[in-house]
Structure 1
Amino acid sequence: MQLIEINKARYRKHLNRVIAGCAVGLAVGSLAISQTLIALFPDESGTHFHWNVAGVVISALGLAWLLNKYRTHPFMIEVVYVWELKQALNKITRKMAKLKAAGREGNSDALLAIHYSYAGSKLLWQLDDNTITMDDLAIKQAELDSVAAKYNLTLDANDYDASILKNF
């Protein structure tokens, strides 16, 4: 997955609309479905917990289906890209201990994966205005650059491929 520049204002606007739409859809859908089920299948004991749960589950599944169906729509490009980037970075994070150990030994694939993780994290943190941790990231990047220089490696995030994680 290549790192691309994202229009921050457009991303935030679209993300907020997707979140608001999901929240409204879940609330309205859950209530509508559960009330319909309660009307169709009343319970003499007065408890309708299972119908309420069914309403929430059905609404959530419906929203998931809609989001999946429209994930290629131009409105969703930035939102889906960031979601997929977060998944890719999470895969790297789960293997970070092994990657750092291999990186200290000069493994170019490990160093490349770490570099990609740092570059992707920087992109995400800038989109989310998470500037507090940027100083720590700069320190980690400097350490990584010194290790790469020690082994005469040039790291480019565009060279990263998720398949290299299988080695760790």
Structure 2
Amino acid sequence: MKLIDVNKARYRRHLNRVIAACIVSLALGSLGISQSLIALFPDPSGSHFHWNLLGVIVTSIAIGLTLKHFRGHSFMTEVVYVWELKKVLNRINRKMTKLQKAAEQGNVDAMNAIQYSYAGSRLLWQLDDNTIMMDELTVNQAQLDALAAKHNVTLSAENYKEELLNNF
């Protein structure tokens, strides 16, 4: 997955709308379904937990299917890109300990995977205004750059491919 520049204002606006639509849909859908089921099948004991739970489950599935259906819509471009980037970075982070050990031994693929992780994290944190972690990222990037210089390696996030993680 290539790292691309994302229009921050458009991303934030569209993400906020998607989140708001999901929240409203979940509230209205689950209440509507559960209240309909309670009206159709009242429980003399007054416990309607199972109908409420069913309403939430059915509405959650409907929201998930709707999001999946509209993934390719131009409105969702930035939002889906960031979701996919987070999945890729999560996969790298789960293997980070092995990647760092391999990078210390001079493994170029491991260093490029870490470089991609740092570049992707920087992009995400800038989109989310998470400046707290940027100082730590700068320190980690400097350590990686020193390691790359030690092993005479030129790092680029462009060199990362997801298949590389299968080796770790």
Q: Deviation digits for residues 30-80 of structure 1, max 9, x if unmatched?
A: 000001111111111111110000000000000000000001100000000
Residue in structure 1 matched with residue 30 of structure 2 by the alignment: 30
TM score, norm. by length of structure 1: 0.99
Asked if residue 130 in structure 1 is aligned to residue 139 in structure 2, the reply is no
Residue in structure 1 matched with residue 121 of structure 2 by the alignment: 121
Q: What number of residue pairs does the alignment pair up? A: 168
> Greater shift after overlay, 146-155 or 4-13?
146-155
TM score, norm. by length of structure 2: 0.99
| Structure 1 residue identity aligned to 2:91 | K
Asked if residue 7 in structure 1 is aligned to residue 7 in structure 2, the reply is yes
Residue in structure 1 matched with residue 101 of structure 2 by the alignment: 101
Asked if residue 74 in structure 1 is aligned to residue 39 in structure 2, the reply is no
Residue in structure 1 matched with residue 163 of structure 2 by the alignment: 163
Residue in structure 2 matched with residue 86 of structure 1 by the alignment: 86
| Structure 1 residue identity aligned to 2:131 | T
Equivalents in 1 of 2:154, 2:76: separation in Å? Answer: 34
Report the identity percentage: 62
CA RMSD of aligned residues (A): 0.6
Equivalents in 2 of 1:50, 1:133: separation in Å? Answer: 43
Residue in structure 2 matched with residue 20 of structure 1 by the alignment: 20
> Greater shift after overlay, 6-15 or 131-140?
131-140
Q: Which runs of 5 or more structure 2 residues have no equivalent in the other structure?
A: none
